[in-house]
Amino acid sequence: MATSSTPAGADMSDGPDATRLAALRRRPPLPVADWLGLPPALSLRDGELQLFDGHNRWPDAHVPPLLDHLLLVVLAAAGSACSWLPGEPPQARPLPPGLVLLLPAGEAAYLRLPAEHHLLLLSLRPRLLYAAGRTPFRLRACAGRADAVIEGIARTLWAAVPHGTTGQDLGLHLGRALATHLRAHHAQAAVPERAGLSELRLRRVLDHLHARLDQPMDLTEAADVAGCSVSHFAHLFKAAMGVSPMRYLREQRMLHARELVETTRLSMCEIGLRVGIPEPAQFSQAFRAHWRTPPSQLRRQG
């Protein structure tokens, strides 16, 4: 998409920070609901297709990598948006009703919206875009274009919310229709998965590890998710993330443990269980070795 001229009143002075975006790209992908900080208005087919009511709820200009594709449909906006999406230059543009913005799963971006806005947000699991041969499609980021099909699906779901009329069958059909439309009009060329840790495989592995922080580390399972041998997996993971799988998991466990110590009243025994260290003495020792302070002291300081 060509760079649009900056509309009157649009301000890019506090715009995208390339250093921050680069740091965001290294983070594990987040569920859309966790980043938005609100529950979906509709969640269909085990969360494969979700609808959110983004009424003045856009949380931050810098968008971290997300697990699902995110589509924004503008219902109303009092002002212009500033954006920097993958493959597109920084730009500012008005947000007329019906405009659609698309952020592919796993991509970090910058998107600052006016304070007054009303969006419908659709999140779509990447696996819904697989073709019959299970070949993944990569979507193109889009900072704004008219798309009557996406707008129509979003409005159909939105209209059904207050009546509770949207069942799983309708969700199945709408999900398939949306996936077919995205493959035809918003996808890059089909990207065959390479043996090793392609971007898609890495996202799957990180998702797998983060869902099992409370379980013993099993490199065999993680290697199966990556589709390679255990020894090859360890080599490829370190090449992609800069640390070994075991060190990465330990760091993520300690980050999660510190968050639980500082933000909850859970006992240290319960926190240890949630990060895969069931023995209290072992948990306290691991926490102190990582953070240079025992968890009980950190909680008292908080």
DSSP 128: G
3-class secondary structure, 239: helix
User: What integer pLDDT is reported at residue 192 of this predicted model?
Assistant: 47
Radius of gyration of the chain (CA): 21
Greater model confidence, 10 or 225: 225
For residue 302, name the pLDDT band (cuts at 50, 70, 90).
low
Strands 80-84 and 109-112: antiparallel
Q: What is the pLDDT of residue 82?
A: 92
pLDDT mean across residues, the chain:
82
pLDDT category of residue 119 using cuts at 50, 70 and 90: very high
The whole-angstrom separation of Cα 146 and Cα 74 is 10
Section 118-144 average pLDDT: 76
| Domains defined for the chain, CATH in brackets | 18-185 (2.60.120), 199-301 (1.10.10.60)
Q: Which residue has the higher pLDDT, 221 or 164?
A: 221
Q: 114, 93, 184: which is closest to 147 by C-alpha? A: 184
* Each residue's pLDDT tens digit, 4-35: 333 333 344 445 567 787 778 777 778 899 89
Q: How far apart are CA 208 and CA 29, in angstroms?
A: 11
Supply the DSSP string of 162-208, one letter for each residue: GGT---HHHHHHHHHHHHHHHHHHTB-S--PPPSS--HHHHHHHHHH
pLDDT digits (tens, 9 = 90+) for 63-87: 988 888 999 999 999 999 999 988 7
When pLDDT is averaged across residues 43-57 and rounded to a whole number, the result is 87
Alpha carbons 276 and 262: distance in angstroms, whole number: 18
| Residue 272 in this model has a pLDDT that exceeds 70 | yes
Lowest mean pLDDT among 2-11, 249-258, 266-275: 2-11
Report pLDDT digits (tens) over 153-195: 999 888 878 766 555 567 678 888 888 898 888 887 554 444 4
Q: What is the pLDDT of residue 191?
A: 47
Average pLDDT over residues 85-90: 83
φ, ψ dihedrals at 3, nearest 5°: -70, 130
pLDDT at 137: 66
**Which amino acid type is present at position 145?**
R
CA dist., res. 116 & res. 173, Å (int): 33
Average confidence (pLDDT) over 90-102? 92
**Strand partners of residue 118:** 55, 76
Q: Is the pLDDT of residue 230 over 50?
A: yes
Give pLDDT, residue 140: 86
Percent of the chain topping pLDDT 90: 31
Tell me how far apart the alpha carbons of residues 274 and 188 are, in angstroms, rounded to a whole number. Answer: 40
Kindly tell me if the per-residue pLDDT of 226 is higher than 70: yes
- Residue at 141: amino acid letter: A
Cα(214)–Cα(85) distance, integer angstroms:
35
